[in-house]
Structures are given as structure tokens and as C-alpha cells.
Structure 1
Amino acid sequence: MRTEDTGPDLRHHGDAEVRDDGAALVDLAVNVRAHTPPDWLREEIAASLSSLAAYPDGRAARAAVAARHGLPVERVLLTAGAAEAFVLLARALKVRRPVVVHPQFTEPEAALRDAGHTVDRVLLRAEDGFRLDPAAVPEDADLVVIGNPTNPTSVLHPAATLARLARPGRTLVVDEAFMDAVPGEREALAGRTDLPGLVVLRSLTKTWGLAGLRIGYVLSAPETITALERAQPLWPVSTPALAAARACVSPHALAEAEQAAARITADRAHLAAGLAGHGIQVAGPPEGPFVLARVPDGAAVRHRLRDLGYAVRRGDTFPGLDANWLRIAVRDQRTVDGFLEALRVALVSARETT
């Protein structure tokens, strides 16, 4: 169904849950890995500050990203975070019927609407496990956007399922911002060159705690990269961000990211088991560094959790979800145990007031 109104607040993001009233909250709302960036990465970024008098030169970082994925540099574009890529796609590509698969990160649809496009939504259903049926995407869609693993559902779609969406005359945008939190990056499409119209987005801000630095990249066919690059301003990525990009795709960093993904897997299982102990199931099975939970009286529980010192991400700003859905970032087991106790109190409080 073609949607003219935006419905939910597409510009609401997790950082607002922590910043709203300035309270000192334990942050389970933002999907950035805790205790990052690591010291070695801070040192790499700090070392770049001596070069700030010169304009940024992205050639080395671009080559490093290309090598990491086994691609020629002509297939790589560095961006100020993956979010910038959505704006570039919306402005640079000539499309007639863009489709965004929801629930997912809302910035792609917001960027498309800001660029004057009318956007169709394909809404995945909880009763289907938020799994994609490629047949649900309109045949005449010439731009399709989907996340993998998807924010906020934490569902990891099979690469073969997503590949069925690719066809000549269509741009298929797969947001893999959280793929490096999946052990082995299974189901990744980054590095594939056999699928027509494929555009893969990656972020380096989540695993490495660089949300304030803004660094990500696009992988696609050279002609698409050229079109997006023309829509960028001059020097879009800062020198410190370029230094971070080079460092974060090094063999050492990739090994550390894989270790972090294994820890996230264990911590996520602990969180899901604790939620189940409160009678709360999560969507999925979850594969990202967060879970999506359906909580009775979710809005009241979320507000009570704030009173108890914990911030979680409201779900009702994602198309296809309502206020009873909460997204919860995976944290270490000690932090999760504190959260689960606060959740017990919040659930009791919500029941007593209804």
C-alpha cells in the first residue's frame, strides 16, 4: 500500500532516550558497543590530529576498505556514517517506486521523503517472526531497502532470501550496519559483485563506539559509487574518521570484532533468558547486538525503567510496531542482571496501576 503520511516519528532515534531529561541513565537504548573505542583505536585517532591542517585524503582508507572486502576501490565510497549514505541514495538515484521493508531503521525512509519521493512500506509481521517473504515486495519496486541484521527486530535474513530481491532495473540496498556483530558475518552480502543493483552499507560506529566521529561506507557497482560521490560535498569524511576507517578494517581489528561478536552472542543469550524468566519473549531468534521484546504496558514499563535508572528504546516510532515493543541493547551480564531486576520492579508497578 502506498503511504503518503509518515505516521510514526521517523526522526526519533535511540540517543533521545538517554538525552531527554539529562538523567544519569544506564544506556540500553543505543546500539553502540559499550566500553569503546578501545585504547589502540583512540591512539590511532589521536595520532591523526597532527594532520588537521591538511585537507582530508581518503585514498588510503578507501583502499583499505576495498582490500578488506576483496573489491576494487571503484566499488567503495566512504561516508560520514552509514546514515549519510541514505541521504546520498535518496538524492542521487532516479527511482519511481521506492520500497522500504519495515520495521527497520527509519532514516532511509525519512531521507527518501525529504528528497520528494513517495515511499511504499512492506510491513513484516511479528507472527511471521519478522521474516521476509520476497514475494511481498512489489514487482515494480525499483529501489528496495532492508536491514540485515535488521534494526530493531534483530532478525538475520538469509543471504539467499535477500538475493532473490535483486534484478536488473532495481537497486537493492542492504543495510549491514550491524553485520560485524554477527559471528563469521554469515549471511553478509558485502563483497558480492554478482547481484545486479546491489548496494551494501556498512557502519564502523557500532562495534567500535565511534558514533560521534561518523564513519561508514558504501559498496556497490562503480557507476553507482560515482553517482553517489557526485552528490557528496567536498571532503565529506574528516581526517580522524579516515584514520579510524583504516584501523578498523585491519586484520587486528577484524579479529577483535570477531571476539566481540562471540561475547555479544553469549550476553544476548543471557538477556533473552532473563526476559523469558519474566514471561517476556523476544523477536527472532535475535542475531544482532540488541533484542526486540514485546512487553505488556510497554510505555508504562519504559517510563518506570527510566525512574529506576535504565533507558531502553521505544518501539512505536518504527512503522509496524506499537508502544508495547521495546528494543534493548545487549550489555555485559552484570549490567543485564541489574536491568532485569529493575524490569521486575517496573512490571509489578505497571500491573498495579492498570
Structure 2
Amino acid sequence: MKLAILRSVRSDKVAKQPDEYLDTFDTLFADRVIGNLLNRVDFCTACGSECIRCRKVYGMEPGTELAGIVSLPSPMPHLLERPVEHVPPDIPEHDVLLAIAVHEQVLLEILKQAPSFGLRAVVVPLETPDWISESARAQAHIICEDLGIEIAFPKPFCSFRPPANSVLGEFRRLFHIGMPDVSLEVRDRTITSAKVSVSAACGATYCVARWLEGRSLSENIELEVISRWWHSYPCTASMERDPELGGETPLHVAGQAHLGILSPWKSHVVDEDPLVLSPLGTMVQRPIPPEENRRNIEGAMRAVLATLETRGSISLEDLRGSVAFSPAILNMALLTLKHQGLTRTDGMVISRPGKSGPY
């Protein structure tokens, strides 16, 4: 089975016309999905110094292939007069198209051309509700139905569990991404092995499974392991409450998908809402424990230094788009690195002391 990924890439080459509105598209989630699929050695930094390279025993199934990664620029004009002109010319033949946060008009044009690519199924994950409009989804369903192509819009991606006998089900099984599926071996109520069959597309499930091993089912591992490591990975799904999810947030659905790992072994799984009521009466994200904040900051520091080793210097804007940490964590990491004398700043450009880069 051949997979093609359609994604957005940040570009400064898009010229804005007078009175034209530009849409900016998420690029971070695609980076994480691709890093997970290719099993890149430096992809996951969640465990920091405690990393045991838990992912090295996993790999792509025989007969599967990443046929190509096709990029669209971000930003793009909100309204395209001739969307067909924006369809990339280098789309390879493939069985499944994974379209991550791209311009919906271009996506629809690509679907219309699906027979020329050999396309059999499409997955359009929605980590945030506004990644594609309801009208575009409806049009995509009509196009695919007419062409005999399966299509799914999982919200979020880790809720993706299509019928096993479908093309989409085969895709989930062969590429190991979708709703988490982890096989646990338990002896005397202690988890001796946690083998990932299907991971969240971002790769968070491998991190969760690694920390489940050696823990007792008698412990509160729902919160102490699953919720802790899934949060600190971190999950980047939206915190916006969505009527299509019954008023839940994609972030909450993602958390429940990981808590479901324990369902064969525990009769009750803690349903921890990631949102809490603030003193001002608004719903805000549950505070992350200080130890996890420290771990995240240290991970961001390592990521920044690794980036500077290869690039010499980098703008703050580019750095934010290249590392998988929240702005708050990244800012704390940059302040700490500067205080320790490990980096210097020149305006909005970060570099190592005594080194210069392309800026």
C-alpha cells in the first residue's frame, strides 16, 4: 500500500495582493506525523535523558511505502479564483492520501483528479475544528462517493478506527496510526510488556506504552502514567469545545483514546477532563505539574541547541515552527539558555555565542 502525504509548509514567497485575505495553515502536526511514520531517531524528545529508544523495535510493514510528501505553501489566499492552478504537479501514484491542514479548495481539486493517481482512500484529520469547513467536507464526500473512494475526517486523528475490512482499515493496520491499540502483557497485576500495534499519528502512544511497563494495575496509572505522559508529549489537539463531539474538545477525545488502552484490564477508566473552571468562571487547561514543566523546558532547551548546531542561527518565528513545544515552554527554554550563556539573541534571531549563521 502506497501512502502520499499532502501538507502545508511555511513560505514567505506568497505575495499578498491588495485587499486580499491570507489563510495560514498548521505545519507542526504534519512534521510530527511524518517523523512518527519514518521513525526518525531524533523525532521524540519527551523522555529527555531517560530515553531508551523505545521506538527502535518498530518499523513500517513490508509492502508499505511512503510514496511522497507533497507540499502546499502557507499562507495562501483565502479564496482561490482558479484552485486547479495550485495543484502540485509532482503528486505520485498512491493508494491512500493523508491530507493534513491544507487549503480546502486545493484538496477538492486533487480529489477530482484522484483516478489519475490511483487513489482508493483519503484521510483528512481534524486536530482543530477549523482545518476544513463543513461545506468542503460535504463536497469531498460527494466527490469521493462518485469516484468510489473511501474518505474519513477523524477529529482528532487518534479517534480514527474505520472498519477493519475497508481500505481505510487496512491503512490503519499497515501504517500503525489512528486510535491507539496497545497489547499489554500482565503478570501478577504488573504490566510486563506494552506493545504498540497502532499509535496516535503524532507518536504519543509509544511514549505512553514505554512508561506503562513495570507499573501495577493497582496503581492510578490512568493519571500517573497515561495522562501524565500524553500531556507532556505534548498533545497538540485543540482545546476548543466542539458540538460535533458532544461539546467535548478534541484534546479530551485524544486523552480518552489513550485511557482506553487499559479498558481490557480495568473495569473503570478515569475520565479526566483536561479543562478546569478558573476563578474568573472560564474553562482553562488543567495546570501541568511542576515536574512536567521542568521536563518540558529541558526538552525544549535540547531541541533549541540541536537546531543551532545544524543551522548556526535561526529566527524566533522559524524556531517556533520547527520544535514541538508550546510558546510558553519555548520562551522559558530560551530565557534559561540565554541566562546560562549558551545562546545569544540579536533582535529576533537566536544563535550560539561566537557563531554566526545565515541571518
Fold conserved between structures, TM > 0.5: no
Higher-Rg structure is 2
- Of structures 1 and 2, the one with the larger relative CO (CA 8 A, separation 6+) is 1
Shorter-chain TM band = 0.3 to 0.5
TM-score (norm 1): 0.35
